[in-house]
Every structure is written in C-alpha cells, then in structure tokens.
Amino acid sequence: MEWETVIGLEIHTQLATQSKIFSGASTAYGAEPNTQACAVDLGLPGVLPVLNEDAVRKAVIFGMAIEAHIAPYSIFARKNYFYPDLPKGYQISQMDHPIVGNGHLDIEVDGVTKRIGITRAHLEEDAGKSLHENFHGLTGIDLNRAGTPLLEIVSEPEMSSAKEAVAYMRKLHELVRYLGICDGNMQEGSFRCDANVSVRPKGQKEFGTRAEIKNINSFKFVEKAINHEIERQIELIENGGKVVQETRLYDSAKDETRSMRSKEEANDYRYFPDPDLLPVIIDEEFKAHIKANLPELPHAKKLRFKADYQLDDESATILTTSRALSDYFEAVHKASGCEPKLCANWITGDLSAALNKADLEITESPISHERLAGLLARITDNTISGKIAKQVFEALWQSSASADEIIAEKGLKQITDTGAIEAIIDKIIADNPDQVEQYRSGKDKVFAFFVGQVMKEMKGKANPAEVNKILKDKLA
Amino acid sequence: MHTKSLSELSHGLQTGEFSSVELTQAFIKRINQHQDLNAYITVTEELALQNAKAADARIANKKADALTGIPVAQKDIFCTLDVKTTCGSRMLDNFSAPYNATVIEKFNQAGAVMLGKLNMDEFAMGSSNETSYYGAVKNPWNTNKVPGGSSGGSGVAVAARLAAYATGTDTGGSIRQPAALCGITGLKPTYGRVSRYGMIAYASSLDQGGPMTHSAEDAAIVLQTMAGFDPKDSTSVDLPVPDYSVNLNQPLKGLKIGLPKEFFSADLNAAMATKLSEAIDEYRKLGAEIKEVSMPNLKLAIPAYYVIAPAECSANLSRFDGVRFGHRCENPVDLTDLYTRSRGEGFGKEVKRRILMGTYALSTGYYDAYYVKAQKIRRLISDDFKRALTEVDVIMGPVTPTPAFGIGEKMSDPVEMYLSDIYTIAINLAGLPALSIPAGFINDMPIGLQVIGNYFTEAHLLNIAHQYQQVTDWHKQTPKGFE
C-alpha cells in the first residue's frame, strides 16, 4: 500500500529578553544552578507574576512577520501538573486566547514553494531542569531556566515529509533570528521542536492516529526522528497493529523513538485563566509602533535584492537568510560602489568559505565591510586582477591592513603598461617556437599556455585583458 | 493605654505621655496574660521592642507618621522577613519568607511596631478559626464561642485588646465576619486597593487585605497605610489613594441606603432582624433615606463561590509540594510518595476538601458545567450590585446569620459552616468594598451591620460608619475581663 505522512510541528522558541517573563531575574544561560531564580521563579508563598512587556513585544513582532492575526485581547492560563522542576505546580501559559493567531510561512523544497499554515503562537514560561546525574540516586533541581519566556509556535498539520518539516523548522529558525527575538541556540535549548506525526493510506481524507515526538533539538534529529517514526507506524499498521495516540521520546544515541506516556496516562491540565494576571490588551498604537520598527523581512528583502541589484535567485536567497549577512552585503556595496554581482560573489564565495572554515559568524568576520569594499574597488578599477585579489583577500584575513596598503606593500599592482607586457610576450614567443607553431596550425588550446607563461613571468600582475589582446596580435 | 484610639495613642506618643516601648510592653503583657485565647501563633517580643525603640527615636526626631510606634498584630498570612509565616498550616510550620509582603513593608515604613502573627483558619479556609493547625481561637465575649474566621486571631486580638489594631484578609467574609462576631470594625477594601504581594493566596481573584480596628476612625488611619498601587501585584489598581480621614465627619443627610429584600427575607433570624432595623433607624435619624432594592442573583453566591474559590485554591496550593520549602515527609521512597505524604500530612481536612472540590470543578468534562457557569453567575451578581448602586449610595445588611456559634458546633457539617458567609460572599464576587461595624448584642454576643459601597468608595463607607459610631457606643464595649 502507498502511504502518505502528515506532520505538524510545535516549536518552542526562547525569547531573547533580558529578564524572565514574570519576574526580574536574568535569563542569561549557564549560571551556577539556582543563582538566577528569584522568589517569584521559586514559587514561594505569596509572590505574584508581573508580565514582561518585552516578551509581549517580541511575540507581536513574530506575529507580524508571519502575517498573523494579533489578538487584541489575550489571556494567560494556568496549566496544572506536578513536577519538581515546575515550582508553582502549574505553568503559566495561554490556552483559549493566544496572543498570535493564524499566520503562515512559505518553505521551499526541491525548488517548489509550499505555504505552511501556522495555527497559533502563544506565550508561556519555561520550567526548570531536573538533573539526574551526579546526585547519587537523587534528583537535583536547577530553577535558573524557570520563568524564561517561550513562544510556542504551532503549525497546521500540513507537512508531508521529514524534509518539509526540516525546511519549515530551518525557515522558522532563520526568521526568529532575523527578527532578533530568539538567539536560536539549539544546544542551549533556545529552539526546540515537538513533532506530531501520523500516516494514512494515500488518498484517505481522515488523519491517522498521531504520535507526538517530544523535545528534538537539532535539524538532523528532527529528520531522523520523523523518518524513524513514519517507518515505525507504517510497519506497525502493515503488520496488523494500530498506532496509539501517545507521546514518544527520540533517543538520538539509538536513533529510535520510544513511548513516554499514552493518551490515557496523559495529564488533565485543568487549564483556567490565571487570576493573578490581567488580560493582555494590544491596541493599534502598540501594533503601529512595532510595525514601524519591524525589520524588512527575508522574503521582501530577497525580492528587493533581485530587483534592485539584479542578483540571481541563489545569491539573493543566501544573502537574505540572515539580517547580518544582508546588512554586510549592502554595506559593502555602498562603501565600494562596485557591481552588486561582484559584491555578492565575494561574500557568498570566498568570505563565506573562510568564515565557515573558521567557524565564525558574519558578525565576527575578521574582514570588515569597509576592508572588503576596499578590495573590490581595486578589482573594479583594474588595479589588481581577480587572481591577485585572492592573495589580497588572504592578507586581509590575516592582518588589519587595508587592501591598498597590502597591494602597495606587496607590489601587487597590476601592470597595464603595454610596453612592459609586449617585451615579455616577445621573449616568450621567441623562447617557445614549437608552441607558436602548434597554435598557428590551429591548436587554440595552446593559447592558455602562453597566457600562463606571461602571468608567471609577470608574477600575476599583468592585466589579463591586455595580455590576451597583445598575445592574439603577436601570434596572429 | 490599651483602650485608646489610634489618634489618642499617636497623640500620647508624640506628647511624651508614654513611649512606644512602654506601650509595646503593655500589650505584650496582655498577650501573655491572655494566651488561653490562642489569638497569636507567633509573638515577636524582641523584634517589637527593637522596633519600639526605633519608633521612639523617630518620634523624638519629629518624623512620626500616624502609626509610628503603635503596636499592630499581623494576620499570619502576610509574609514577614525572617519571622515565621505559617498561614495557620502545618505545611508552613517551618517557613519564614525571605521577603516582606508589600503590606508589611508599608507598616514598617510607617514605623508600626509588629507584636506578632495572628492565628487564622488554615490557608484562610474557614469561618470559625477552627481549621487552624494551631488550634481554635476563643471569642473573648464567651470563650466557648468561635471568633469567626478566617481572621479569627485578628478579631480576638483587637476585641481583647491584645494589639492596638490588626490586619485581616477577606476572601468571602474573613474580615467582616470575625469583626462582627468579635464586636469590632472590619473593612474589606475594593479588590485591587491593597496589594496582595506577599499575602499567601487562597483565591487570588477574591482575596483582599484590610484593617480590623476598634472604630471606623481607626480603620481610616490603617487603610491609609495599607492602600495603594503595587507594581508587584498586577491586579492592584493604579488609582490615587484619597485621604480616608478627611471626610469622616460629613453629615449623612440625603444618603440613600438600599436594603436588599433578599437579605431581609423571612430566612433572616428574628433577633438579628430587630437589631439591624434598630441600626438602620439610627441612620434614618441621621437623615438617610431607606429604600428596598432587589438583587435576585444573590442566592447563587454561595454555590458560585464554592466553585471559584476552590478552583483557584487548587492551583494556588500546588506549590506546597515538599520540594523547595514547607513540610516534607520523612524518607520519601519516590516522587509520588514525596508529594502525597508531604501534602497529606501538611494540609488539614478543610484545605484538602477545597483542593479536591476545585480540582474536580476544573477537570475536563466538568469545567464548563462548574467553573464557566460559576463565572457567569459571578458576572450576574456584579451586575445586580451595579444596578442597585445606581439607585442607592450604599447597601446595608447583616454580616452573619447569627451571633458567634459554639466551638465545635459546625465542624462536622461543612455546608452549615459555609452558610455562615451567606451575606458576605457576594461582595467578594463583585469585588466591592464593604465594612462591618458593631451594631448591638444578641444574648450578650456582638453582631455586625454590613455597609457595602461602590468601587473605591472606602472613604464614603468609613464616613458612614463613623457617623453611626458618633451616635452609638456598641464599638466601645469591651468583653468582661478584658477592660
């Protein structure tokens, strides 16, 4: 039988606020356990939550970026369950009235664009961490993370392969970082994914029974976990079994999912509006202010890059994946006045390769946009050739000198003096009569040999166009 | 000294008639003499004397506020830095908070001298102070009777003059009911007027702290210190605090008083009806007009309350899990055992009952039938009050169905106990301010008159109460043996 897969993702993004969603404690990662948990985070008797406006702002920024409905009225609810790392015995979350309603995100898989619906995004507080190691059979509780603001982004069940799911997750990951609302650090848990997966016979309308895979923290694992789960479900059904609704955990070490709890064992969370918090009212003024300060979104920027800079689709896509990268590109273009295409090629080519190799972000680039612009300007005005430019680039990476200083210091200035070039060419023609004979008898390929010889002789500094022209004349 | 009003005490302190240390010592002596009343859970003698000394210095520097140097006792629901805060529960028998409640902070800034922490029903759940882990509190008017609850210790501390004044909290009547049964004045402010930060939550949407005093005049002074917006409490209201004392002497001529026919039906105890009608006659004499009003949804207040309050408490009390603070059972074998035994041992019967009721009311399949419906009723009740308060200025009625009942009398019948609050609960559901003032005696036990006003009209309520106290002396009566 042919099967098709239905996938929906719930993604928890940690909002990059200074303090927690309901208290003034810091959200910085990696502090000593329980040093960033104040009385409110500890759930001590009598304390009360106060909503962090910045978390609301960041949620609204996200909602606008996915063209979603921003709820003028949203409320916080208590989700009740007992767990040692949940200090109050309930999590403050949103249930019936989330802050962000219906929106969408376009993904691209194998060159085809697909629109994925986003059902909702709601604000909630994170729990702490239970530490099971090094406590001699006991469990340690670290509440530093308790109260960290999360935006839970729930997609429609509209993805039909692990590949699509990963594309969606990557796109979302790009977006939240682009918007500056989440640092996207997956190792630190800033961006976590739960996947709802079901299968059904191809063509069937009703959904199959779904399993939810919890807490997958890398793109690679999402793909693996979903593919594994699809296989498990199909195999199960084909062997006469039935998928049960349950929560499963992905074990990356064993590359398998295993059951955590069934629907019957699931908690009744007894949601009800939190009486300690007032409804969140978002008025037009608040929205207008955010809208005015909203950065240009990746998709709009990509279209602009293609139209204004005549970039091809691939370059425009790469340059607009991150705000820092597109800013860098525009800065280089502006400072150098060079062809956008030349700027794009150097940034997506040599610079990106070097950054990748050194495991650096564009914001950490040893070559500032001014210094790269200086290099590109010298290519454009023919001071150096493209080949020499690569040497200068290396030097820019290693030092803090400008391209002009490097060119001057190393004597890399291109020779455009035709007299000097002619003299060298005459010498090479004289020294290589066999090759001259071959060329003249119609072996065009030998031309490259002459170019190479000239460049070698002139240490790469000859203007290639001039060399070509003179060579052609002399060999004719 | 212990019979003086707050303004007399302040005057005495500032003119050097007596010092704060002397005053504090006098109250501590009385507390020690009357330990059998069981009003206090914790007496902070040393701290009180320290604070009294500081207050005397402040007074000497002419920097005294109205409450500087005057001894107060706090309901043990307000968290106090480094002083045990039990909330009347075994669960918190070992708990002292690393912070002060905002209310405590305000009293500290005013230079008040805290004598200790007062007994109360466990987690403020009760109407007789019998659910306290620290035992029942005795009513000084008759030590076989309850003082009411949940602020029973507060009612008794003021009535027996074991503090110059006290604080209470009121979720369904917990200030007004003990005030009535102990013969003192108690004010529940508008929801949001007094910060709830550091006040251990029972039902967050209903809880409100307020003063328990000898007179409306005293209550005005105490509320002045307690009231105000608190950025740490999102439900506190950012409105300016008026001067509560300045209009106490406004004449009441033309005041329109509404008497809900649902309060004065045939169900009302005959002796109570007589006493209330005498009190209302006094108001008539003061120039007030009396009018009947109708609030048809009042009868739904108790069932609605006993869904909403337990629902909220079921979540509010989840934090008492034996993990971070409070009672933890001995040698738990696993997590479930830690939870069940810590909570099983730490909570008393009434608290457990309400957690169970609330958990049930919020469960899938019952939520709409109970919680959602109760919220709708709550809205209807608020609308009843709003409508009535367009016709009249204030509403008056009984505080309690009867005077204080006997200790042990209603403990086996929770529903009978819940009915003790039948006249007070609706006001919490509506979030309105209301006060209870002494209005006479039935069989030598005090009863109260309830005055309910519109939102944020505490100053007017205090004026209305004060005028009554100018022409009556019920509030000046002292139980025998406590003069």
* Ordered mean pLDDT values, 10 residues apiece, chain A (476 residues): 94 97 94 94 97 98 96 97 96 97 93 94 96 82 96 97 96 93 93 96 93 90 94 94 91 84 79 97 96 88 94 92 90 94 94 92 92 93 85 92 89 76 85 86 85 83 81 82
Q: Do A277 and B197 touch (CB under 8 A)?
A: no
- The alpha carbon of B76 is separated from its chain's Cα centroid by a whole number of angstroms, namely 12
| Domain span holding position B92 | 1-483
Whether residue B52 contacts residue B102, with contact meaning beta carbons closer than 8 Å, is answered with no
Give pLDDT, residue B307. 98
Question: For residue A138, what are the contacts with CB-CB under 8 A and spacing of at least 6?
Answer: none
Q: Do B315 and A42 touch (CB under 8 A)?
A: no
Helix, strand or coil, per DSSP, at residue A396: helix
What is the CB neighbour count within 10 angstroms for residue A116? 24
Give the nearest chain A residue to B314 (CA atoms).
A80
- The alpha carbon of B335 is separated from its chain's Cα centroid by a whole number of angstroms, namely 37
Are A397 and A305 contained in the same domain?
Answer: yes
Are A122 and A232 contained in the same domain?
Answer: yes
Measure B232 CA to nearest chain A CA, in Å: 6
CA distance B327 to B262: 44
Give the nearest chain A residue to B358 (CA atoms).
A270
Are A185 and A121 contained in the same domain?
Answer: yes
Strands A280-281 and B165-169: unpaired
Nearest CA-CA partner of A180 in A293, A58, A362, A18 = A58
What the block records as the tokens of B276 is 């209330």
User: Phi/psi of residue B315, each to 5°?
Assistant: -85, -40
CA distance B78 to B197: 9
What are A426-464's pLDDT values in tens digits? 888 888 888 888 888 888 888 888 888 888 888 777 777
Give pLDDT, residue A264. 67
Give pLDDT, residue B458. 98
- Cβ contacts from A onto B, under 8 A: 104
Give the nearest chain A residue to B99 (CA atoms).
A39
Are A88 and A199 contained in the same domain?
Answer: yes
CA distance A69 to B277: 58
Are A207 and A248 contained in the same domain?
Answer: yes
Which residue in B97, B233, B315 is closest to A44 by CB distance? B97
Q: Do A45 and B87 touch (CB under 8 A)?
A: yes
Are A90 and A136 contained in the same domain?
Answer: yes
Strands A103-109 and A3-14: unpaired
Q: At what angle do helices B20-33 and B45-60 cross, to 10 degrees?
A: 160
Whether residue A384 contacts residue A413, with contact meaning beta carbons closer than 8 Å, is answered with yes
pLDDT over 70 for what percent of chain B? Answer: 100
Question: For residue B35, what are the contacts with CB-CB under 8 A and spacing of at least 6?
Answer: none
The sign of the dihedral angle between the CA atoms of B58, B59, B65, B70 is positive
> Which residue of the set B10, B127, B150, B314 is catalytic?
B150
Give the nearest chain A residue to B363 (CA atoms).
A270
Of A261, A286, A311, the last residue of a domain is A286
Question: For residue B473, what are the contacts with CB-CB under 8 A and spacing of at least 6?
Answer: none
- With contacts defined as CB-CB under 8 Å, which chain B residues touch A277? 234-235
CB-based burial label for A280 (10 Å; 0-12, 13-18, 19+): buried
Q: Does A62 touch chain B (CB under 8 A)?
A: no
Of A251, A267, A286, the last residue of a domain is A286
Which residue in B99, B101, B364 is closest to A268 by CB distance? B364
Answer yes or no: is A291 within a domain: no
Are A61 and A210 contained in the same domain?
Answer: yes
Measure A98 CA to nearest chain B CA, in Å: 19
Give the nearest chain B residue to A50 (CA atoms).
B234
Measure B315 CA to nearest chain A CA, in Å: 7
pLDDT over 90 for what percent of chain B? Answer: 96
Of A231, A257, A286, the last residue of a domain is A286
Split into its structural domains, chain A has a count of: 3
Whether residue A178 contacts residue A297, with contact meaning beta carbons closer than 8 Å, is answered with yes
What are B46-70's pLDDT values in tens digits? 999 999 999 999 999 999 999 999 9
Whether residue B4 contacts residue B213, with contact meaning beta carbons closer than 8 Å, is answered with no
Nearest CA-CA partner of B381 in B425, B447, B438 = B425
What the block records as the tokens of B427 is 């006001």
Q: Is residue B330's pLDDT more than 80?
A: yes
B96 carries an active-site annotation: no
Give pLDDT, residue B281. 98
Question: For residue A376, what are the contacts with CB-CB under 8 A and spacing of at least 6?
Answer: A332, A336, A338, A342, A343, A346
Are A18 and A56 contained in the same domain?
Answer: yes
Which residue in B78, B99, B319 is closest to A43 by CB distance? B319
Whole-model pTM: value is: 0.89
Nearest CA-CA partner of A411 in A392, A386, A387 = A392
Split into its structural domains, chain B has a count of: 1
Give pLDDT, residue B238. 97
User: What average pLDDT score do residues B178-188 get?
Assistant: 98
B128 carries an active-site annotation: no
| Domain span holding position A443 | 418-475
Measure B434 CA to nearest chain A CA, in Å: 21
Fill in the amino acid letter for B228.
Answer: G
The sign of the dihedral angle between the CA atoms of B53, B58, B62, B63 is negative
Nearest CA-CA partner of A125 in A214, A213, A49 = A49
Are A280 and A316 contained in the same domain?
Answer: no
Look up the CATH number of the domain holding residue A450: 1.10.10.410
Dihedral, B379, B382, B387, B391 alpha carbons, nearest 10: 180
Answer yes or no: is A301 within a domain: yes
- With contacts defined as CB-CB under 8 Å, which chain A residues touch B79? 44-46
Are A333 and A226 contained in the same domain?
Answer: no
Question: For residue A31, what are the contacts with CB-CB under 8 A and spacing of at least 6?
Answer: A144
- With contacts defined as CB-CB under 8 Å, which chain A residues touch B197? 46-48
What are B15-24's pLDDT values in tens digits? 999 999 999 9
Long-range contacts from B264-272, C-beta under 8 angstroms, 24+ separation? B264/B397, B268/B398, B268/B401, B269/B401, B269/B402, B271/B442, B271/B443, B272/B398, B272/B401, B272/B402, B272/B442, B272/B447
Whether residue A404 contacts residue A374, with contact meaning beta carbons closer than 8 Å, is answered with yes
User: What average pLDDT score do residues B371-397 get?
Assistant: 98
What is the CB neighbour count within 10 angstroms for residue B324? 17
Q: Does A130 touch chain B (CB under 8 A)?
A: no
CA distance B3 to A464: 108
Q: Do B87 and A80 touch (CB under 8 A)?
A: no
Are A173 and A317 contained in the same domain?
Answer: no
B10 carries an active-site annotation: no
**Of A111 and B176, more confident:** B176
Give the nearest chain A residue to B319 (CA atoms).
A88
CA distance B125 to B134: 14
Answer yes or no: is A386 within a domain: yes
Q: Which of B104, B230, B324 to mutate to test the interface with A (most CBs of A within 10 A)?
A: B324
Are A320 and A274 contained in the same domain?
Answer: no
ipTM value? 0.96
Look up the CATH number of the domain holding residue B175: 3.90.1300.10
- With contacts defined as CB-CB under 8 Å, which chain B residues touch A48? 196-197, 232-235
Strands A272-273 and A256-262: unpaired
CA distances from A421 to A21, A410, A412, A469, B262 (A): 70, 20, 15, 11, 112
The helix or strand, by DSSP H or E, that contains position A118, with its residue range, turns out to be: strand A112-125
CB-based burial label for B15 (10 Å; 0-12, 13-18, 19+): exposed
Nearest CA-CA partner of A172 in A150, A154, A157, A189 = A154
Whether residue B258 contacts residue B394, with contact meaning beta carbons closer than 8 Å, is answered with yes
Q: Does A82 touch chain B (CB under 8 A)?
A: yes
Measure B316 CA to nearest chain A CA, in Å: 8
CA distance A25 to A19: 5
Question: For residue A17, what are the contacts with CB-CB under 8 A and spacing of at least 6?
Answer: A27, A52, A54, A55, A58, A149
Give pLDDT, residue A215. 81
Q: Does B331 touch chain A (CB under 8 A)?
A: no
**Of A215 and B40, more confident:** B40
Dihedral, B426, B430, B433, B435 alpha carbons, nearest 10: 0
Answer yes or no: is A23 within a domain: yes
Question: For residue B234, what are the contacts with CB-CB under 8 A and spacing of at least 6?
Answer: A48, A49, A50, A51, A276, A277, A278
Q: Does A419 touch chain B (CB under 8 A)?
A: no
Measure B396 CA to nearest chain A CA, in Å: 29
Residues 252-271 of A with CB under 8 A from B: 268, 270-271
Which residue in A48, A80, A84 is closest to B197 by CB distance? A48
What are B186-225's pLDDT values in tens digits? 999 999 999 999 999 999 999 999 999 999 999 999 999 9
